[in-house]
Structure formats: structure tokens, C-alpha cells
Chains A and B, each alone.
Chain A
């Protein structure tokens, strides 16, 4: 990419429950956390991207949040909007920001997301089901989020031989990473075993409770800047080497390939734009609402062969000490799923790994990181490739 756009700063707020904060209040808390960590000059920031505030929790769907927050921050951007592609929003923001910088539309773009996940009891599951499924042709059949992902898992198991035990291995591997992250929600719960996952209560076959990500609240912010500006902020920024998107289906029942969804198309475009191949990737951060996602998207992005993803996790190859660290922050499975903001966690972690700022969970070689995110029911995909050298 021209002008070497890079992620120059990134901070995620500690995931948890923040009942005292409104949707906009969550944004303020995220930005305050970010500003405390990075001393930035507001005059240097001329781009601003945000996501609709309060959507997943049903509190509101504020699509003017970019105006409110830019004003509050004293910014007068020449590039700004509220972006929404569900969980893919934030990788897409990074893509849009790098593109705007390459085209000279902005020099430094601040990207932010904050979210709340509704409580699954108390009608939350039903409200979410109505939002993510076709209201007239899916919702009426008792569709809801874990069940819709279970459809992908079952098809993957059928086509590629993935086993129930291999799904559990993803949860075990991801928890091991969470134990190394001071802010991970499930850190205090300690390690889990295959048996723990297999014996947790059934939700929607093949998933049990420990195959599901952990609902919580939180958010993050990151700054994408022109290379020279980025290097003034931090000695080792995370260069955006490539990006690819693909918007596959609306309702999940319309998916054409349940074992891959639209991920291969997005990843192929990202590798092409970066001039890289999957073997160049040293760390992978993959959106993991459920255990199947890490397996299917590791395969779909070409990092492992089709049908090898399950065995990869069962053999511990994605865990700490493994050949290809996967979801080093603990994933949505064990770090926490922050509702509207969930898709920012893997972008932030990919950047921190490449920047060498991941602390105890730092991968030994993070020269190239792949970030794969999707929005909706695995509907729209965005893959990023981040690296140490432009």
C-alpha cells in the first residue's frame, strides 16, 4: 500500500459489565482509556471512524456517533463517518482508513468501537435472534445465534471430518492464551480441559456452553496513520500490508458454503494486495464467536489445509508455544465478546503483537499477523495483514 499506512496506537479497555455507562458513555470510557495511554496531538488527527452506539444491547442505534464524538474530542476531520458491518466493522475501518491515507484524504484516522452485549437471559437471546435472523423466514423457526453457528459446525463436521473433541480443543487452546492476558474476562476461571467443554451443558448441538463466547461490555480504539507520522508515535508501528473484503449472504440459510462462508474470498484478496502467501503469517487473530470459527476460518484463510483445522487445535499447534499462535488475547471465547465492539479486539491484538507490545502473551515471531473478522451470521468478511516492515 502507498504511504505505508500503519496502526500507530491501539488500546482496549478492560472487558466487564459497566451498568452505570450508557452507549455513548461506553465510548467516552474507551476513548479516555486510549488517550491516557497514548499522548497524541489532536491537531495531528484528521480522520475519525466510529460504529453505531448501542445497537446490540437494543438501547439505541446512534448512527451520528461520529459527529458527537469528533466534536467532543475537538476534532474537525476531513474524513469521518459511522461505519457498520457488524463484527467486520473494525477491520473494514482499518481498511478504509489506510485507503483514505493512501489517497491523501487523511493523514491519521482515529477508529473507535464500544459495545454492550445484552444479557442472554431476560429476553436478550430472543431480541438478538430477531436482529440476526430473517424475521419472517428464519426467526419463526426458533433460530437464534448459537443455533445458526451450529449449522456451520455441523456442515463442517460432515464435509471435513471435524470432531466434537476438536471443537473443544479450540476452547482449551484459547483459554490458555487468556491466562496470559491481565484483562481477559475468564482469566480468573483458570485453565479448562477437553472434558470441561464436553461436560458443559448443551446449547445447540454440537455446541455446549464452553463452545460459546462470553458476553460482556467493552471496546477499543486504534489510530491508523501515514507511515512517517506513525513512526513518530511509536518505533514499531503495525503496517497495513493488505486487506480484503467479501460480503457473502444475508440470512444464513442463503449461505452457499456453510463450511467456509465468504472467508476465502476476503483472505485471497488480502494476500493478493499484500503480495504475501499464507506461509508468511506468524500469528493469527480470528473472530471466534464459537469454537467452530477458529477452525473454519484458519482453513478458509489458507493458514491450514481444509479439514486440518480441528487437528491443528487438538495437537496444540495454535496454543502458547505452538507453531502458529491463534487468538493470543484469549479470543471472544475467553477474553470476552463485547457485543457491538467484538470485532475490534482481534484488530487491536494483531496490532499489539506486530508492535511487540503484547506482554506475557507476545508471540516469539510476530513479523506478519493475519486478522480475520466477519459481521452478521458469518455474512460479511474482512481480512487484514499486518506486518513489521512496510
Chain B
């Protein structure tokens, strides 16, 4: 069976995936207005500066919304169904999609504090995921 999908790596997103491989969670920060930006892009959506830096993020966030997926879109995801798909708001501000792992779907709630963890995929890829933050 084919494994879970891998991201395409572009010039813009390479630092993100390289950092994840090394177990680090980085996001972009605008050099002009200092706001954080995610998903990665060549400009700041707030001020259109093209000077963006990669910075270490806290890896902390909270669940904005979630679902438990029972009918997976492909066999690779069916293995883990039901799995939790969520939108997480990072402590730095931007939102991102991820799975919340190490939790039962019935224990999920909006506002749940989470922290980043990494999931191994094929080819040495590590994909940022979230787990409940304890303490």
C-alpha cells in the first residue's frame, strides 16, 4: 500500500521541511512588520514586504476546530481511522491544519492546548503534528 502523501518541497518551503527533518518547528516572520506568517510564502500578506525570516516557533497552540474522520479519503489514512483532523492556532498567531495525535477523538475539544510533535513519513520526511499539551 502507498504510504501517506508527502509534501512537494519548493524553494519557498524547503527551510520548513528541512527543519522538520531535524525535529525543529520553524515559521516565517516578516522583517518589516514583525508579524508571523504560515503557510510559507514569498511575501508578507500583511504588508507585502518580501523580506521574511525563518524563526523557531514555540510549537504551542490551541485547537480552533476539529473533526474525527471515519471515512478516510484513501487507504493510507483508512488504517488510522477514525483520526483527528484539526485547525490549530499557533501561539504566534497563524493557523495551520494538522492531525492531533495521542488522543481519543471523544476527548477532543475546541480550545484544547496542544504542542507540536513530528510524524515520520517515507523518504525521511517528518511532518509536524500536534498532541495534547500537558502541564
Contact = CB atoms under 8 A, between A and B. Distances in A.
Contacts of A206: 67
A192 interface: no
Give the most central of B13, B68, B73: most A CB within 10 Å.
B73
A144 B73 contact: yes
A146 B8 CA distance: 24
B39 A134 contact: yes
Give the most central of B5, B13, B68, B97: most A CB within 10 Å.
B97
Given A151-B85, A154-B110, A203 B99 contact: no
Contacts of A146: 71
Contacts of A201: 70-71
Given A135-B7, A154-B110, A253-B95, A142 B85 contact: yes
Contact of A202 (B66, B70, B73): B70
Contacts of B68: 204-205
Contacts of A253: 87, 95-97
Given A154-B66, A154-B67, A155-B110, A140 B7 contact: yes
Interface of A: 123, 125-126, 129, 134-144, 146-147, 150-155, 158, 201-206, 251-255, 258
24 contacts: A125-B71, A125-B73, A137-B7, A138-B97, A140-B4, A140-B6, A140-B7, A141-B97, A141-B99, A142-B69, A142-B72, A142-B99, A143-B85, A144-B69, A151-B65, A151-B66, A153-B67, A154-B110, A201-B70, A204-B85, A205-B67, A253-B96, A253-B97, A254-B39
Given A123-B74, A147-B69, A151-B86, 10 more contacts: A140-B7, A141-B98, A142-B83, A147-B85, A150-B67, A158-B65, A202-B82, A251-B97, A253-B87, A255-B95
